[in-house]
Amino acid sequence: MYKTPPKTDTPLATPVQFVKGVGPALAKKLARLNVFTVEDLFSLIPLRYVDRRRIYSVAEVPVGKEMTVIGQVMSSGIYLLGRSGKQVFQIVVGDKTGKISAKWFHFRVSYMKGLFQIGTKVLLAGEVTQFKNTRQFIHPEIEILDQESESLEAGGKILPVYPLTEGLYQKTMRRIVRNSWEGFGKYLRPALPLDFLERYNLADPWESIALLHFPASDIDVDVLNSRRSQAHRTLIFDEFFFLELGLALKKAKMVRQEGIAFPYNEEVVTRFAKILPFELTAAQKRVLQEIQHDMEKPYPMNRLLQGDVGSGKTVVALSCCLQAIASGYQTAIMAPTEILAEQHYQTMQAFLKPFGIPCGLITSGIKGEEREKLYRSCRSGEMPLTIGTHALIQDELEFAKLGFVVIDEQHRFGVLQRQALHKKGKSPDILVMTATPIPRTLALTAYGDLDISVIDELPKGRKPITTRLYSEKQRERLYEGMSQELKKNHQVFVVYPLIEESEKLDLKNATEMSEELKRIFGSQFKVALLHGRLPVPQKESIMHDFKNQKVQILTATSVVEVGVDCPNATVMVVEHAERFGLSQLHQLRGRVGRSHFQSYCILMADYRRSEDAKRRLKIMSETNDGFRIAEEDLAIRGPGEFLGTRQAGMPEFRVADLAKDMDILNLARKAAFELIEKDPDLKLLEHQAFRQILRSRWKGKLELVQVS
């Protein structure tokens, strides 16, 4: 017997352990799926559906279709795949009409051997493929059957397939969901009013949840599996709508806040343009106008500036800082790494010198009296521009009159960190920048409360970077190409995934390969090693020498992903490129191609590549377009991985897919922003339900949105 459930605001908030048939042990496993309450369980929409309205004999099963068969295990075990030597677990299942195999490339040996003993009756479901002359399933859905379960599970039903975790099985999940529905389904209330359902061609949400967990026997399974059912559309709209409603509320609140109106200072803009050694691109000028227009308004600016590596975001940011400084306010630029902060500091010093404006650098590596002096300058208002890392958000650092904040590579910072810097001033204008192109779907969700500017043009004279994919067999060719570029007085980056040798991963590491490059090139060219563990003065020295061409080959870890700016570098070599993500590879490639010289990115990749790695390397070889790369990255990794845990704070999607549901997202966003335009505080009686749902879904989400 379980204890009496605790009292909650709604029965749907009942902890899942109190659902019939769950208990504490199963509740711990469900927690790994982020299922903690009854409502979470209802929101765990099936991944796909298995059509068991007809069970096929093995002889009937055609290739290329989703099929379900029942048979007995005739053999099971591990074999090695071709030259790669990769382990594959295979079973052969047969009935009176024939036999078919099932294979797993990812498995736990002891578990699989215990599960598939000879003679065990199993159900296999999935797409049937063919290898040579043999039909097979790859990673099929499975059920271990006995007489009772065969009649229960194979009795002419369409069965949901849920996400699982170790120790949870489909049969258990289906039973838990059914018990939960029978006990708590009646407490579900429609989130969207009737006029919304009619206006946007949506179904009743209660009926939609019921249909997706317990599909009717006459429904089209293909429609369910393609997520094109009206039930799917309704729940996707629901998720997007309440996310966008929260963002619309936040944006409306910002517009009503008292901010700083920075007057446009034409003299500063003209003077700054004259000291630049280049002409701003049309895209930079357009973006500057957008930002300056925001800065003139009497409420806080919140703008996202996107631009590929080398597109000139830093110059735009500095121009805006000068406008704020001319109005008597302090400015701050926060960067994610010391290397990038130091790079910005050096760049800013050079540009600010003609204006006689000092700037300071605050990082964790700056200590003692130097640090205290910088703190005093910020506190007194004597420091107009401060550049730094996370050290800028320390409690002891105070600003006299902070009015403009720039957050560079903002995806590296959490929401709380951005808020902490914002609170250093009285409603300062915020400009967040990223060189990681963000797909439009993510921009409308993760950054839906921000206005967005895009620098979609590189400076004149830049040539597209040539990207080539090499294997280990082509290493001599690589060194020959490096030698040719070095003889032209150009420079080379060589990047590795590790600093020191790892016993777990057979990867070339920066320390060891730096020595090899010294052996090969050291008689003619200087080789240096840069990584995150070096003391700050040593890093600064290496960067200075590389920028001033005293070092020709810089071997490094991915610490150079952002921050190292050397226009004379024309070759980027990425060792074990298959180990890097797409956005990392794109950032690394952006370290070269920053002048009129033809530049090259060589991706050295192991021949044993996962399917995802093959896709990443293929797209890198095909295009330099950051936004196309970002869309592919989103498709490969999904929004959670793409954004990373640092973007925590948004309600999670259970049904919606940012890579596939752009049309519904646009519709839901339009509906949410139109509603907030009419009722900015959701005070109308007909919108009271929205207030309650927002509180529930955004609860504890880092105060991103407040509904009073």
pLDDT for the residue 203: 92
pLDDT for the residue 580: 87
Q: Is residue 498 part of a domain?
A: yes
Q: For 452-483, what is each residue's pLDDT tens digit?
A: 899 988 888 788 899 999 998 999 999 999 99
Shared domain for 474 and 577, answered yes or no, is yes
Q: Is residue 600 part of a domain?
A: yes
Strand partners, 91: 76, 102
Containing H/E element for 221?
helix 221-225
Shared domain for 501 and 423, answered yes or no, is no
* Number of structural domains the chain divides into: 3
Percent of the chain predicted with pLDDT > 70: 89
Task: Tell me which of 517 and 419 has the higher pLDDT.
Answer: 517
* Contact criterion met (CB below 8 Å) for 335 and 341: yes
Q: Provide the 8-state DSSP code for 645.
A: G
Q: For 630-667, what is each residue's pLDDT tens digit?
A: 878 877 776 655 554 334 455 668 888 877 888 898 89
* Residues 8, 5: Cα–Cα separation, whole Å: 9
Q: Is residue 348 part of a domain?
A: yes
Taken in order 306, 309, 314, 315, the sign of the CA dihedral is: negative
Q: What is the average pLDDT across 147-168?
A: 70
pLDDT for the residue 411: 63
Q: Which residues contact 544 (CB under 8 A, 6 or more apart)?
A: none
* Residues 373, 383: Cα–Cα separation, whole Å: 10
End-to-end CA distance of the chain: 41
Q: For 229-239, what is each residue's pLDDT tens digit?
A: 999 999 999 98
Q: How far is CA 516 from the centre of its chain?
A: 35
Most confident range (mean pLDDT) of 2-6, 52-56, 515-519 is 515-519
Strand partners, 647: none
* Contact criterion met (CB below 8 Å) for 332 and 406: yes
* Contact criterion met (CB below 8 Å) for 23 and 17: yes
Instruction: Write phi, then psi, for 332 (nearest 5 degrees).
Output: -145, 140
Percent of the chain predicted with pLDDT > 90: 37
* Residues 171, 188: Cα–Cα separation, whole Å: 24
pLDDT for the residue 651: 61
Which residues form the domain of 576?
466-623
* Residues 507, 249: Cα–Cα separation, whole Å: 49
Containing H/E element for 612?
helix 611-622
* Residues 375, 387: Cα–Cα separation, whole Å: 12
Shared domain for 419 and 472, answered yes or no, is no
E strands present in 423-526: 429-434, 451-455, 466-470, 491-495
Looking at 115, 140, 155, the residue that finishes a domain is 155
Q: Is residue 368 part of a domain?
A: yes
pLDDT at 502 over 70: no
Shared domain for 373 and 473, answered yes or no, is no
Q: Is residue 392 part of a domain?
A: yes
* Contact criterion met (CB below 8 Å) for 338 and 560: no
Helix 205-213 / helix 230-256 crossing angle, nearest 10 deg = 130
Q: What is the average pLDDT across 256-280?
A: 89
Please give, one letter per residue, the 3-state secondary structure of 73-88.
Answer: EEEEEEEEECCCCEEE
pLDDT for the residue 12: 85
Q: Which of 579, 529, 582, 539 is closest to 563 using CA atoms?
A: 539
Task: Tell me which of 708 and 418 has the higher pLDDT.
Answer: 418
* Residues 206, 201: Cα–Cα separation, whole Å: 15
pLDDT at 251 over 70: yes
pLDDT for the residue 307: 87
pLDDT at 450 over 90: no
* Contact criterion met (CB below 8 Å) for 276 and 314: no
Shared domain for 471 and 596, answered yes or no, is yes
Looking at 410, 434, 458, the residue that finishes a domain is 434
* Residues 584, 595: Cα–Cα separation, whole Å: 21
* Contact criterion met (CB below 8 Å) for 448 and 244: yes
Q: Which of 292, 248, 305 is closest to 445 using CA atoms?
A: 248
Q: For 323-336, what is each residue's pLDDT tens digit?
A: 999 999 999 999 98
Average pLDDT for the chain: 85
User: Which residue type sits at 618?
Assistant: K
Q: Would you call 415 exposed, middle or buried from its count of C-beta atoms within 10 A (0-12, 13-18, 19+)?
A: middle
Strand partners, 135: 130
Shared domain for 427 and 516, answered yes or no, is no
Q: CA-CA distances (angstroms) from residue 124 to 21, 68, 141?
A: 26, 6, 6
Q: How far is CA 462 from the centre of its chain?
A: 29
pLDDT band at 560 (very low <50, low <70, confident <90, very high): low
Q: Which residues contact 287 (CB under 8 A, 6 or more apart)?
A: 305, 307, 316, 453, 454, 455
Q: For 63-91, what is each residue's pLDDT tens digit?
A: 888 788 889 999 999 988 877 778 899 99
Q: Is residue 6 part of a domain?
A: no
- Of 235-239, 356-360, 437-441, 465-469, the range with the lowest mean pLDDT is 437-441
Give the DSSP letter string of 175-188.
HHHHHHHHHHGGG-
Q: For 8-62, what is each residue's pLDDT tens digit?
A: 667 888 999 999 989 899 999 999 998 999 989 999 999 988 887 878 889 888 8
pLDDT at 151 over 60: no
Q: For 290-302, what is each residue's pLDDT tens digit?
A: 999 999 999 899 8
E strands present in 162-216: none
Q: Is residue 384 part of a domain?
A: yes
* Residues 640, 632: Cα–Cα separation, whole Å: 14
Q: For 568-605, what is each residue's pLDDT tens digit?
A: 999 999 999 998 888 889 888 988 988 889 999 999 99
Containing H/E element for 573?
strand 569-574
Q: Provide the 8-state DSSP code for 559.
A: G
pLDDT for the residue 533: 77
* Structure tokens, 546: 């590389």
* Structure tokens, 319: 């121009």
Q: Which residues contact 174 (CB under 8 A, 6 or more apart)?
A: 159, 160, 162
Shared domain for 430 and 504, answered yes or no, is no
* Residues 706, 685: Cα–Cα separation, whole Å: 18
Look at the chain and count its residues.
Answer: 708
pLDDT at 191 over 80: no
Shared domain for 359 and 421, answered yes or no, is yes
pLDDT at 161 over 50: yes
* Contact criterion met (CB below 8 Å) for 484 and 525: no
Shared domain for 531 and 405, answered yes or no, is no
Q: In this structure, what CATH number is given to the domain that contains residue 378?
A: 3.40.50.300
User: Which residue type sits at 564?
Assistant: V
- What is the Cα Rg of the chain in Å? 29
Q: Is residue 186 part of a domain?
A: no
Shared domain for 382 and 476, answered yes or no, is no
Q: What is the pTM of this model?
A: 0.68
Centre a 10 Å sphere on the Cβ of residue 307 and count the other Cβ atoms it contains: 24
Looking at 412, 434, 456, the residue that finishes a domain is 434
Q: Would you call 155 exposed, middle or buried from its count of C-beta atoms within 10 A (0-12, 13-18, 19+)?
A: exposed
Shared domain for 424 and 482, answered yes or no, is no
Q: In this structure, what CATH number is given to the domain that contains residue 84?
A: 2.40.50.140
pLDDT for the residue 705: 43
Shared domain for 377 and 479, answered yes or no, is no
Task: Tell me which of 253 and 397 has the higher pLDDT.
Answer: 397
